[in-house]
Amino acid sequence: MKLTTKVTELLDIEFPIIMAPMFLVSNEAMMRSAMDSGIMGCFPSLNYRNEGEFEGILDNLNKYKKENNVTGNYGVNLIVQKSNPLFVKHLQVCIDKKVPFYITSLGSPAEVIEKAHSYGAKVFCDVTNVEHAQKCYDLGCDGFIAVGQGAGGHAGPFPLQLLVPSLKKQFPNMPVVSAGSVATGEGIVSMLAVGAEGVSIGTRYIACPEAGVNDAYKNAIVDAKMKDIVMTDKISGTPCTIINTPYAKKIGYKQNWLEKKLSTNKRTKKYFKLLIAFRGMKRLEKSIKPAGYDTLWCAGQSVEMIDEIMPIKQITEKFKTETFETLAKLKRFSAKEVLA
C-alpha cells in the first residue's frame, strides 16, 4: 500500500511514516523491519557507544538494504550538541558509511548538512517553533520534524495542529513531518490534513517484539493512559516525558535549587549538564534491563491508544489500512453530513 507525498519521494520510501529515533529503544532489528515495511526507520547514534559498534551496525544495514528488496529506508539521529562527546566521531562514521538520511536534534545542524549534502544524503531537523526552523532553513536543511505537544521524549510546547501549518505558512516548499501523539491511521490523516507530508511515530513502536527493551516497559506502554504521562527535568536537564512510575514520583520531576543553580551558572553549566545527562542515561539504562523498582520509562501521550504488543510489520500494516479507511470515510462525507 503506497501513499506518495513529498516526503516519500525525497526519502525513497513507500509510506510517509518515520519510525522515530528512540534512545535505548531503537535497534538494528527495528531498522530492518521498518525497511521491510516500506517506511523510514531511524535510530540515535548514541544507542551504539562501544568501540566499533556503530560502524558495524551501519555496515549491516547497508548490506541488508542492498541484498533485500526493501521498500523502505533508514536514517541516523545525531544529537548535535556540545554535551554529546561522540558527535564528531559518529558524524565521520556516518559520512564514511554514506548514511542516506539524518535527523538532527538540539544544536546547530550546520556541519551535518554540509557533510551529508556532499554525497546527496538528506537532513531533516527537529524543531519546536518557527524561529528554530528559520535557522535550520537558512543552513539549508531538507525538511523539518515538527515536534509538538504530547510527543514522547523532549516534547514541544505547541499543538501540532498549529505548529505544522505555521511552518507550512512560513516555508511553503519545505517538507514537514509531524512528531507527537499519533498511534492510529486517523491520527496520521489528521496530520496530513493540517499540512504535514509525513508523520514521525515513536511511542507506538516501543510495544513491539523487535524493540531492545524489557517486557515490563512494553507492557507499561500498553497499560498506561495519557493521564499517566508526566514531564521530568531529572533525565537530561531538558523536560522529557515519562510514565509516572512510583520511582518517578519518589525522585520528583524538577531539579532542586542546587541543580538549577549549577545548570545555569556560566562556569559550571556545561559540566553539570553533562553530568545530569550521564546520570539520566544511566537511570534509563537501568530501567530497560529486567524490571526493578527504580524504573524510569520514557513515553508520549499516545500510550492512550496502544492496546497490544505487535511486530513492526503488523503495526505498520494497521497504520496503512486505517489511513486508507479514514481517507475513504472522509471522501464519503457530503457537506450536509458534516453539518448534521
Ligand X SMILES: Cc1cc2nc3c(=O)[nH]c(=O)nc-3n(C[C@H](O)[C@H](O)[C@H](O)COP(=O)(O)O)c2cc1C
Contacting positions for ligand X (CB under 6 A): 20-23, 25, 44, 77, 105, 126, 147, 151-153, 179-182, 200-203, 298-300, 302
For residues 140 and 113, is the Cβ–Cβ distance under 8 A? yes
| Residue 305 Cβ vs ligand X, minimum distance, rounded to whole Å | 10
Query: Shortest distance, CB of residue 17 to ligand X, whole angstroms?
Result: 10
Backbone φ, ψ for residue 76 (5° rounding): -120, 140
Place of cell 507550512: 168
Q: Is 9 helix (H, G, I), strand (E, B) or coil?
A: helix
* Cβ-based nearer residue to ligand X, 21 or 100: 21
**Nearer Cβ to ligand X (261/289):** 289
**Cell reading at 11:** 526519502
Residue that is written with C-alpha cell 524561529 in the block:
131
Nearer to ligand X, 132 or 260 (CB): 132
Please, which residue, 128 or 166, has the CB nearer to ligand X?
128
CB of 207 to ligand X, least distance (A): 11
Q: How far is the CB of 123 from ligand X (least distance, A)?
A: 13
Q: How far apart are CA 127 and CA 175, in angstroms?
A: 13
Q: Are strands 40-44 and 17-19 parallel, antiparallel or unpaired?
A: parallel
Q: Quick one: cell of 75?
A: 536514517
Of 17 and 262, nearer to ligand X (C-beta) is 17
Identify which of residues 110 and 281 has a Cβ nearer to ligand X in the complex: 281
- What lies within 8 Å, CB to CB, of 190 at 6+ separation is 161
**What minimum distance in Å lies between the beta carbon of 21 and ligand X?**
5
Provide, rounded to whole angstroms, the least separation between the CB of residue 46 and ligand X. 7
Least spacing, CB of residue 204 vs ligand X, in Å: 6
Angle at 43 (CA atoms; ends 3, 108), nearest 5 degrees: 100
Residue with smallest beta-carbon separation from ligand X: 202
DSSP 131: H
Quick one: which of 237, 272, 275, 274 has its CA closest to 254? 237
User: How would you classify residue 237: left for phi > 0, otherwise alpha for psi between -120 and 50, otherwise beta?
Assistant: left
Which helix H or strand E contains 258, and what residues bound it? helix 257-264
Report in angstroms how near the CB of residue 333 gets to ligand X at its nearest: 27
Which of 208, 178, 205, 183 lies closest to 193 in space, CA to CA? 178
Smaller CB separation from ligand X, 203 or 326: 203
Q: Between residues 22 and 188, which has the closer beta carbon with respect to ligand X?
A: 22
- Cβ atoms of residues 75 and 42 within 8 Å: yes
Alpha-carbon dihedral sign for residues 20, 270, 234, 154 = negative
Min dist. Cβ of residue 202 to ligand X (A): 2
- Of 27 and 200, the one with the shorter C-beta distance to ligand X is 200
User: How distant is the alpha carbon of residue 40 from its chain centre?
Assistant: 11
3-class state of residue 17 by DSSP: strand
